[in-house]
Structure 1
């Protein structure tokens, strides 16, 4: 694995004593994400090169991994005096705030113009318009046959001309064919040469032989057990039991006949139990109508999902009408007990919970081998471990409930009132944006320290009611527009007594408000939310602004 993230096979030339690349995973160096650094673009015309877009300059000419820096003050991008510079046949991979189809170029530009987080947008016309609004300019790539353009937001004061990046005079970020220089020239000689397939075949054959040997040895130890130490056998049992099928009688005994209830919700009741001297949470599922084969197929997929911010599933039970899941037990139980009660979280813990929850949802939406929508994001489904790190529970349960039609659209309403996106009631197709809405409600509740799914009476009209969430969002927006120096302090949980990071609070409030937009296309993706929260994760200063008299 080379420094640029590409996997290569080197072969020694016995006659010269030099090394040469005989195979590499990515033949096109520009396909290695981030090879040219932040804001930079990897251009592949006649040979790969790194270049900076208009309005930017290279950070370090000797090291393109450091990327490009803006020649202008980027805070000016929040004003209306900006323009967009088109770079044809170019894109920045990832960091999409929104992905919208069937829109015009002008509509896509306006979406970026009206979002303070937007640094540019990608637009392509393939039968219909595809708009990708970007929160960061990373992994730039340009190729003459790429059917789209990137439009970069710059202040109107910056002088720019339409770039011709395919004739730019820039430093190379790789060489043609399969010959990228890595290491010392005295050690490696990488003159262009034809790939010698015999080395590839030899490498694959050797790898296959080693893998076959490992399988045979594993079978021997597992089933023959000739002289295997007890500690090794215990290790095999532990590995094989990470996700297993339990009988109903085992779980009934483990929970002492389902005696101690930890909580309950729309998907079932959770009980405390002990299995193999380990505390577990056993959930009895309700309204699961699948056959045993269908249930086993779905639960096997869920059991393979593993992330530090998702509750680990140890196993399941499927006997007759009994459907149960066995989860890891978390000492500090659910988030709602640490927001709305007297034993509340400090600010640093709240921000860590918001970031960890966002990472878990982003993993479900963007990184899982099988797409998973949670459908019921709320404080009760966010559990906390001994270090108060968040773990999302009940993910994938929507997959276990019966779907009464083809495709991926749900036909029955799922979720909890107050955390459900408007599209449930409007009978619109359900996408990952329903989780984004629920997450927005949760982080606003963490900021405010109270439930926002209740109903309140407006001060000016005793007969008119609105949700606490709507009231909070409206008031927060009004205070932001007035620009009061203490508007953040007036919005954040008073129990913190001003001990919070003002910048982090602003980020959470603005992110939460964007997540609960009624129009789902205006909500960000969870991947972009993670990126936004990471930008001020390390801020440790607690800012206590002066209160206005």
Structure 2
């Protein structure tokens, strides 16, 4: 009976193979990197499987969306070890294993199905590559080994991770991941060369404040065909365009944000229908050691005064000091204030009800201290032994005070103007509210300080016309875009001077 089933499956495969495309690869057959037509295509033509070019003479055995503009990859077998553009092939061998070999015949990747009764490899409409026996039972599937993307109806369980790529246009494994932690909760983590840091959900809030629970007996999550994602830790969200008939993917992006995308069938482009973080700078590690994420209003990386970028082509390496970090005497040390800047974690000391001078003294007397954070309204002091996860945002009610040699010449803190965009994602845009509010506040300070009656009048009239044209729903973002070109930006020193002047008038 088994021999008959094998014969029947072989006949069925050959009938499919005579068509222009096939979703089957028969036992003892292979696909070559050199033959463009050596592809598997799902029956509904949504997905294609084959060799995908990732660099010059470098290919990965992959699955991608057939009709997306950039052939968006959803799975790779040999992500971190591409094969040669000549002589490489993927084979379904007689012993049941699917094996990827390089030009020299060496094995780069293979499935754990040796000595099994695998008969065919089949690309399903779901985007799942499945190895099946003659009875149709799945013995291995790509859904069990995700890379950076989760597809609808692909179970995400405790032993799986979504790992980002290293950067824009790169397919190497990166530093950000989505996974189930030991407390049964879904989390996003930065695991870089220097540090590991959890940043989503908000590490400063409790499990229940984040709408989660760890009192669950399983770790499983799934994105359904309607665009709803549900997890056993009670995390739940739905796509902005929730409904049937939309091609979607949930991707751990290289900038550390987890996003749900929907495919626009007309343009072939992806549109963001949900994102874990609305503020890109909330991602930890994005600007490396000593680096600060700033809004300009786009999210960008910058080095603080006294520091310089380590590698302009790779912000994961952060910033390096322009001085030797030694244990200096008090008269050889100065502190430079960075308003609204915070570095998350790596606290040497936490003190409440502390005065500024006491906080400064704690850092001054500790050779390990590189800076201290102080929040005047809360009288909270935190001394830092390392500067990671830097962010400048007007919502932070304190300042960072950098510990620097007194002899070091530094620029004003307004030099945190950003040098490298980090939030651009292929096929999507991120819209945030807080950066525009920050810029609006900066401009408002400059108006109040001493711009003059004429410019103030132009501003008021412009804003009135803007709201008249757009109605009450007009946003600060609209106002900023419409009017910002009419005024010059003021330096940090000018704003400080203007603010003091304004305060004396109140």
TM-score tier after normalising by the smaller chain length? 0.3 to 0.5
- TM-score, normalised by the number of residues in structure 2: 0.34
- TM-score, normalised by the number of residues in structure 1: 0.31
Compare the two structures and name the one with the higher helix fraction.
1
Compare the two structures and name the one with the higher strand fraction.
2
